[in-house]
Amino acid sequence: MGWRLFGYAVILGGTAALLQWLDYLHAIRSMPGDIYVAVLAIGFMALGLWAGNRLTRRRASAIPFERNDAAIRSLGLSPRECELLALLASGRSNKELARELGISPNTVKTHLARLFDKLDVGRRIEAIEKARMLALIE
């Protein structure tokens, strides 16, 4: 990551030096200001898109996801709690979870409380993180 960052710094420094050189040659002064701003904006937008694409490209996993059934048994999770945990990772509210499962919102709260106790967490995000760490959900 350090060499990549150094490379980007060199590219940006070289671009800044090129712009100074063009300024001294009066090439930029002969262009209208709006065109200069548009060209500069397009250049930085292209650089940002390229850098974002390179740095955030997701690699396809060669190994398919396998749920950790041993962890489910050791934690004592019921099939309904596993189903709720998978839906919880989708970011839905209690009402949406209840609608999806065909149960009342109070039952969802009860299931969540039991799930939090079994996973030894206090919040939804902690439950999702721990479930992913234990390979309970994808």
Above pLDDT 70, what percent of the chain?
87
Task: Of 76, 83, 67, give the one whose Cα is nearest residue 135.
Answer: 67
Does 121 lie in the same domain as 76? yes
Lowest-pLDDT choice from 5-19, 20-34, 86-100: 20-34
- Confirm whether 64 is domain-assigned: no
The pLDDT confidence band at residue 56, using thresholds 50, 70 and 90, is confident
More confident residue, 22 or 11: 11
Domain extent, residue 103, equals: 69-134
Residues 50 and 81 grouped into a single domain: no
- Answer whether 0.75 is exceeded by the pTM: no
Q: Are residues 77 and 128 in the same domain?
A: yes
Domains contained in the chain, number:
2
Q: Is 26 contained in some domain?
A: yes
Banded pLDDT at 24 (limits 50, 70, 90): low
- Check whether residue 78 and residue 39 sit in a common domain: no
Reported as a single tens digit per residue, the pLDDT across 86-115 is 888 888 888 998 998 899 999 989 989 999
Residues 123 and 86 reside in one and the same domain: yes
Beta strands in 1-138 (DSSP E): none
Identify whether 123 is part of a domain.
Answer: yes
The CATH number assigned to the domain holding 122 equals 1.10.10.10
The string of pLDDT tens digits covering residues 64-83 is 778 888 888 888 888 888 88
Neighbouring residues of 66: CB distance < 8 A, sequence distance ≥ 6: 135
Beta-carbon contacts of 87 under 8 Å, excluding residues fewer than 6 positions away, are 97, 100, 101
Residue 42 has pLDDT above 60, yes or no: yes
Q: For residue 109, what are the CA distances in angstroms to 83, 88, 96, 116?
A: 14, 12, 12, 10
